[in-house]
A and B are shown apart, each in its own frame.
Chain A
Amino acid sequence: MGKSRALNLGTGSFVLLGFAALFFLTTQTTSRGLSFASQPHYDVTAKFDNIGDLKVGAPVSIAGVEVGRVAKISFDSREFKAVVVMSLNSRYNQIPADSDASIYTQGLLGGKYVGLAPGGADTYLKDKDHIDVTFSAFVLENLIGQLAANFIKGKSDAPTPAAPEKTK
């Protein structure tokens, strides 16, 4: 009986580890993370002309600090704009109502994220609010094109990607 007990124990541990790994892959490497869903949060909406390849689950940050995640992306067929619903952590409940939202790229080839730039209003964003001032994502192809051109010239000091401020 000792042998079959060891066998069951070994099999059980293996299956447990396997399912732990599956759980890890589905929740920790993807945006299906449980971190924000479970915490108290409030939703704000913003409309963009173009969100590039922004995905549900992408971070929303202010000054580089993550304050929330993109919860939902849909298309407004009357205005032809992308509607992005962001879940912001309730801890950050003093974000000025006239803040603007831009879509940035992490690194050069990284994923997109939403950056909020604080405005100066005395009122704060609350649940179901809209952010009116938005700046669209860069189309990736333009950047790649620039980059490729630079590589062909053999220059190692590739220019840093243009910041969205320049489009204001």
Chain B
Amino acid sequence: MEVPKHPETIPLELNINGETVELDISAWTTLLDALREHLQLTGTKKGCDHGQCGACTVLVNGKHINSCFTLAAMQTNKEITTIEGLANGENLHPVQDAFIEHDAFQCGYCTPGQICATVGLLNMKKGNTPEEIRDLMSGNICRCGAYANIYKVVEEMKEKGTEGTTSI
């Protein structure tokens, strides 16, 4: 009987939240699993592992992507920002603070993804009408149903001209 081949590991360097980290992982490891299982950056959540829920949203070069939908090995030489990298020490990013103020979450599990998606919209200068906000945020499911309050956050950030993390 043929013995199944165990996937080999490869060395990787990733830039996460301004720091370079080294990994030795199977080439098939998603960015999401690399963050959660190998780097203990568990603020990024796994909701479906299939790009259907948005809980794993992170920022790559300022743009929000589903980290379950890409391999860690494909994200070298890029700037990856996770929920852990948004606050400046004790000072929350304005989007994070607005999420608390508007109670834009309940269980909190989709929240890091919702926040990264909001920051991504601000970076891309998108979400300029109510329809556009609702459409562009629709990749991030909130089963608790905090949508009406998340909408208020995005609307307020747009009105105030809040900066995301970078301009793209």
Does chain A bind chain B?
no
* Chain B residues near A (Cβ < 8 Å): none
* Chain A residues near B (Cβ < 8 Å): none
